[in-house]
């Protein structure tokens, strides 16, 4: 059997007690806008951090990978029994580049940066929707409740 939902109680002026008044509505939307603004800025800050991490890993990775290739070539040209320092350089570059490659693959800083940036953009769009709602402050209580539901 379907559940019967009671109608909301009404104030003496006939408005629903669940409806937010004009002053409360503006304060509520303003508070939502402030919270969304903080979330947006936080995501943009995290995107910047992950971009720096991405560059901090990718650039040395490319340098050490090139060093590994060059060191291997130099080692191949020299006799293996001569105890050439190029052998240790090639081994060191290979270890560092493989560690950076593993770190880059496991953490995927580029994807994390993109994710935070797209989330920040969505929060920014919501912030501007809140500003639009504040402009509509002269709307009726019913229309305001509909707009608030659309935001949530």
Whole-model pTM: value is 0.62
Q: If pLDDT is split at 50, 70 and 90, which confidence band does 2 have?
A: very low
**Which is nearest to 97 in space by CA: 67, 54, 142?**
67
In a domain, 9, yes or no: no
Residue 57 token pair:
């890993």
Q: What is the spatial distance between Cα 73 and Cα 88, in angstroms, rounded to a whole number? A: 13
Q: What is the spatial distance between Cα 67 and Cα 97, in angstroms, rounded to a whole number? A: 9
**Mean local confidence (pLDDT), 63-73:** 74
Least confident of 17-31, 69-83, 133-147: 69-83
In a domain, 97, yes or no: yes
Burial-class residue 144 by CB neighbours within 10 Å (0-12, 13-18, 19+).
Answer: buried
Q: What pLDDT, on the 0 to 100 scale, is given for residue 1?
A: 43
In a domain, 42, yes or no: yes
Total domain count, the chain: 1
Expressed as residue numbers, the domain containing 126 is 24-146
**Mean local confidence (pLDDT), 62-73:** 75
70, containing H or E segment: helix 22-77
In a domain, 6, yes or no: no
In a domain, 5, yes or no: no
Q: What pLDDT, on the 0 to 100 scale, is given for residue 38?
A: 92
For the chain, the distance separating the N- and C-terminal CA atoms, rounded to the nearest angstrom, is 30
**Mean local confidence (pLDDT), 61-86:** 68
Q: What is the spatial distance between Cα 66 and Cα 123, in angstroms, rounded to a whole number? A: 41
In a domain, 49, yes or no: yes
Burial-class residue 37 by CB neighbours within 10 Å (0-12, 13-18, 19+).
Answer: middle
Chain mean position to CA 80: 50
Q: What pLDDT, on the 0 to 100 scale, is given for residue 102?
A: 86
Q: What is the spatial distance between Cα 78 and Cα 58, in angstroms, rounded to a whole number? A: 30
Question: Do 78 and 46 touch, CB atoms closer than 8 A?
Answer: no
């Amino acid at each position: 059997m379907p559940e019967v939902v009671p109608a909301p109680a009404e104030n003496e002026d006939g408005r629903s007690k669940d409806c937010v008044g004009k002053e409360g509505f503006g304060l509520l939307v303003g508070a939502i806008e402030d919270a969304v603004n903080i979330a947006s800025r936080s995501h943009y800050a995290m995107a910047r951090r992950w971009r720096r991490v991405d560059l901090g890993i990718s650039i040395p990775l490319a340098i050490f990978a090139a060093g590994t290739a060059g060191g291997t070539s130099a080692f191949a040209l020299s006799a293996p029994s001569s105890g050439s320092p190029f052998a240790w350089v090639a081994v060191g570059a290979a270890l560092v580049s493989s560690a950076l490659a593993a770190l880059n693959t496991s953490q995927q800083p580029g994807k994390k940066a993109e994710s935070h940036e797209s989330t920040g953009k969505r929060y920014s769009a919501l912030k501007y929707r809140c500003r639009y709602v504040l402009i509509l402050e002269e709307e009726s209580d019913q229309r305001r409740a509909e707009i608030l539901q659309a935001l949530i």
